[in-house]
Structure 1
Amino acid sequence: MPVVIVEDEKLELTNLSKVMWPEDNITKADFIDYYVRVAPYVLPHLKDRPMVFTRYPDGIYGKAFYQKNIPDYAPEWLRTYDEESFTGGKRKVVRYALIDDMKSLLWAANQASLEMHPWLSRVGTIEYPDFVVFDLDPMENTDFEDARQLALALKKLLDMEGLVGFPKTSGATGIQVYVPIEPRYTYREVRVFAKIFCRVLERTFPEKATTERSIKKRRGKVYLDYLQNIKGKTLIAPYSPRPIAGAPVSAPVTWDELEEGVRPSMFTIRNMPERLQKVGDLFKGVLEVKQRIDRWL
């Protein structure tokens, strides 16, 4: 097993020839190389955020599992964050990994963490998210096109209110819009804000959009999931691959691209590094813009 030196630390890479995406003949080595190439763009979106991973040690068709707690064999140099909770009078501590640098990113990739899910808040302001997220999730008998139309309607609504949002494909069938805010609002306040906008969309497009929590009652509509704005809930990270044939990635896009009709399958492990070199990080504003939402609370 090859051992590489990354940022002065030894990292043992394993099972590099294992095929992760069979139809596309993408191996674990290809997957790790992808993260080497996109690290400058993805790391700012992961830094200081507790991470949840979905691991696929045998590829996208093998058994998968979520991982919050870091494994016992995690390297000593890996930064972590402990989240303490009490349930039924019992104390529980979850030790999350923090992916702040190249070595920790490649360590996670070597764990076959095909999906990376960061928290909405950072460890320094853990109770106060950095953005409001709108997760437009097509249900049965709906598709990306329905989510695209609703995302564009959401943009018009945000424009009317003088707010800026940044869209990205989920990498599957959905679209996620991030509205960056000052980290001064609680998760409850952020959720109230998101609910207001989702309900407006639901009333405007009753045949297409729903905030209904019952899965059976969502059929034929796009679920507007404002409940993603809860502490500890996560969305797929920008540029993270998905365990789907074609190896699509969650891709930040411009509103113009969304208007023109982009498709999730257009952005993959194969072409995302070149796209980033050409257009840069279209999600950069999510980290830089700081908006206030006081008047909705």
Structure 2
Amino acid sequence: HIEGDGDTALTQACASGLEGLIAKRRDAAYHSGRSADWLKLKCHRRQEFVIVGYTASQARTGFRSLLLGVREGKALRYCGKVGTGFDQALLEDIGARLQKLVTDEPAVSDPPRMRGVIWVKPQLVCEVEYTEVTRDGALRHPSFQGLREDKPARQVKREKAVPVAAIEKEEDMHATASEAGKPRRTKVEASPDRPRKQSSARSGDVVEIGGVRISHADRVMDEASGVTKRELAEYHELVGPLLLPYARKRPIALVRCPQGDAQQCFFQKHKLPGLGDEVKKARIAGNEVIYVESQRGILELVQFNAIEIHGWGATMDAPDKPDWIVIDLDPDTALEFSDVVEAALEVRDNLDRIGLASFVKTTGGKGLHVVVPLEPHAGWDSVKGFAQAIASAMAEQQPDRYVANMSKAKRKGRIFIDYLRNGQGATAVLPYSPRARPGATIAMPVEWKDIRRIDPKEFTVRSAERWLKKRKRDPWAELLTTRQRLPDLD
């Protein structure tokens, strides 16, 4: 929920690949039915259509394209076809459904003259994204977005975008009419769909943790474990003194999950309206960055529905001089965690031989991060070049185990030694940050001597207190005080 600069919020939503925003009149109640109290602000043109037919394909299973219709008045009018946006599973699933609906007569009042058309009963509804509508009502550059199982075909009508300013003007006219004692009628419909109120967002569902007001505290942020927003805030209150030294005055990026659903999460690097005052912003090399200086700032990120916190390899004090290197060991899904452990130990030994101390943490998945603290001295190119040299040398020496190329095809059965997190603006998940993954796992610093005995899945938001009490010392206690420079590898 964001109050304030709607234009900026919509721009950021579109830049993050979201469908758009839902806007609500601030003083309007939650109620059923259509009204201009709710607006659907779209990043792209989308419309629901009735599937009225299809064309067969000899090159692929299912069909070649879907023929679309939309209701205008009482008539169902033809409005073009869509042949992109399908994977093999969709082609087979939709194709099987359509075969059961085949009919001899077209449902549209103006069927196109087209060879090879197979007409179907107008029962399936789909959503299509497009760039514009031609003069004859057809879609330009359509792309299939999915079936709408929740909407009957009889409700599908042509939508028309309306400028927000026009709705505001309409509302002003209604208000004037109401003041004059005349009945108020809403002429503009924001959307055929009423936005659904989240069950976890009840009024009164607010707690205060660490001096920060946490709204929608009982919202489930991870379906697998049931971890709530309240638990995330309590977790950060617990680990704040441990996480803050790595986050303080360091440009950060967030993985935000506004509805607590991993499928609806997105990456954010800029400050939006709604973020608290303890979340600061600045400009580095012409780009806006955000950072925090206090534990309260981290809790404000939680209130903003941030789950993951990623950080640059440099601080605001010296943004051009990295203070650590991150070697990210990312295994192919077929490999075991024990394979990654052996790779991390090999990276550590290689660094030891050239006089560099290193530390290790889990990533919340099957990977590991080997972190090399640095005195802020060398520039980004030098640091990234050094990390690349380490990764390339290991990949050349053992090409059957390692790869330094991010190509998915080349990573099969191997561990990708990712050095790309060491460029300016690149980020890596910070120690103790939760992950937006099933189980609400966390990125946990561990001792090198314990690395063979751990299971990364055991480090979670809920188990963190037990693990922190169990360990005898902070395994990263010396990381931020270790002063070392890159050696000359020539």
TM-score greater than 0.5 by the shorter chain: yes
AA aligned to 2:466 is: E
Question: Structure 1 residue 46 and structure 2 residue 247: aligned?
Answer: yes
Q: What is the CA distance between 1:189 and its match in structure 2?
A: 0.5
AA aligned to 1:73 is: G
Question: Structure 1 residue 61 and structure 2 residue 61: aligned?
Answer: no
Q: What is the CA distance between 1:194 and its match in structure 2?
A: 1.1
Give 2:306's match in structure 1, choosing from 113, 136, 150.
113
Q: Distance in 1 between matches of 2:306 and 2:474?
A: 22
The 3-state SS of whatever aligns with 1:24 is coil
Q: What is the CA distance between 1:232 and its match in structure 2?
A: 0.7
Name 2:335's counterpart in structure 1. Answer: 142
Q: Distance in 2 between matches of 1:229 and 1:295?
A: 18
Q: Distance in 2 between matches of 1:28 and 1:77?
A: 19
- Structure 2, unpaired ranges of 5+: 1-203
Question: Structure 1 residue 266 and structure 2 residue 458: aligned?
Answer: yes
Name 1:245's counterpart in structure 2. Answer: 438
Q: Distance in 2 between matches of 1:174 and 1:5?
A: 32
Name 1:290's counterpart in structure 2. Answer: 483
Name 2:46's counterpart in structure 1. Answer: none
Q: What is the CA distance between 1:213 and its match in structure 2?
A: 3.2
Q: What is the CA distance between 1:77 and its match in structure 2?
A: 4.5
Note if contact 1:169-1:250 (Cα within 8 Å) is conserved in structure 2: yes
Q: What is the CA distance between 1:62 and its match in structure 2?
A: 4.1
The 3-state SS of whatever aligns with 2:224 is helix
Q: Distance in 1 between matches of 2:337 and 2:408?
A: 18
The 3-state SS of whatever aligns with 1:135 is strand
Q: Distance in 2 between matches of 1:84 and 1:295?
A: 28
The 3-state SS of whatever aligns with 1:22 is coil
Note if contact 1:208-1:221 (Cα within 8 Å) is conserved in structure 2: yes
Give 1:176's match in structure 2, choosing from 365, 369, 380.
369
Note if contact 1:21-1:245 (Cα within 8 Å) is conserved in structure 2: yes
Q: What is the CA distance between 1:140 and its match in structure 2?
A: 4.1
AA aligned to 1:289 is: T
User: After superposition, where does 1:25-174 map in structure 2 within 5 Å?
Assistant: 25-85=226-286, 93-94=287-288, 96-174=289-367
Note if contact 2:250-2:292 (Cα within 8 Å) is conserved in structure 1: yes
AA aligned to 1:48 is: K
Note if contact 2:363-2:443 (Cα within 8 Å) is conserved in structure 1: yes
Judged with a 3 Å threshold, the aligned counterparts in structure 2 of structure 1 residues 248 and 254 are, in CA distance, closer, same or farther, namely same
The 3-state SS of whatever aligns with 1:105 is helix
User: After superposition, where does 1:5-44 map in structure 2 within 5 Å?
Assistant: 6=210, 11-44=212-245
Name 2:428's counterpart in structure 1. Answer: 235
Q: Distance in 1 between matches of 2:320 and 2:457?
A: 35
Q: State the aligned residue count.
A: 285
Judged with a 3 Å threshold, the aligned counterparts in structure 2 of structure 1 residues 76 and 158 are, in CA distance, closer, same or farther, namely closer
Q: Distance in 2 between matches of 1:101 and 1:184?
A: 26
Q: Distance in 1 between matches of 2:238 and 2:248?
A: 17
Give 1:190's match in structure 2, choosing from 383, 395, 412.
383
Judged with a 3 Å threshold, the aligned counterparts in structure 2 of structure 1 residues 101 and 76 are, in CA distance, closer, same or farther, namely closer
Residues 132-180 of structure 1 show CA distances to partners (whole Å, capped at 9, x for unaligned) of 1111111242342221111011112122222210010111111100011
Note if contact 2:209-2:234 (Cα within 8 Å) is conserved in structure 1: no
The 3-state SS of whatever aligns with 1:164 is coil
Note if contact 2:278-2:296 (Cα within 8 Å) is conserved in structure 1: no
Q: Distance in 2 between matches of 1:280 and 1:97?
A: 31
AA aligned to 1:162 is: G
Judged with a 3 Å threshold, the aligned counterparts in structure 2 of structure 1 residues 178 and 77 are, in CA distance, closer, same or farther, namely closer
Q: Distance in 2 between matches of 1:140 and 1:235?
A: 20
AA aligned to 1:281 is: D
Note if contact 1:20-1:58 (Cα within 8 Å) is conserved in structure 2: yes
Question: Structure 1 residue 212 and structure 2 residue 405: aligned?
Answer: yes
Note if contact 1:144-1:175 (Cα within 8 Å) is conserved in structure 2: no
Q: What is the CA distance between 1:4 and its match in structure 2?
A: 3.8
Q: Distance in 2 between matches of 1:135 and 1:223?
A: 8
Note if contact 1:146-1:208 (Cα within 8 Å) is conserved in structure 2: no
AA aligned to 2:214 is: L
Give 2:467's match in structure 1, choosing from 262, 268, 275.
275
Q: Distance in 2 between matches of 1:118 and 1:30?
A: 23
Note if contact 1:47-1:98 (Cα within 8 Å) is conserved in structure 2: yes
Q: What is the CA distance between 1:279 and its match in structure 2?
A: 3.4
The 3-state SS of whatever aligns with 1:116 is strand
Greater relative contact order (Cα < 8 A, sep 6+)? 1
Q: Whose helix proportion is higher, 1 or 2?
A: 1
Name 1:90's counterpart in structure 2. Answer: none
Q: Distance in 2 between matches of 1:80 and 1:61?
A: 26
Larger Rg: 2
AA aligned to 2:334 is: N
Note if contact 2:256-2:308 (Cα within 8 Å) is conserved in structure 1: yes
Runs in 1 of length 4+ with deviation above 6 angstroms? none
Question: Structure 1 residue 221 and structure 2 residue 410: aligned?
Answer: no
AA aligned to 1:192 is: G
Residues 8-42 of structure 1 show CA distances to partners (whole Å, capped at 9, x for unaligned) of xxx33211011112232211101110000110000
Name the Cα RMSD after superposition. 1.9
Note if contact 2:255-2:436 (Cα within 8 Å) is conserved in structure 1: no
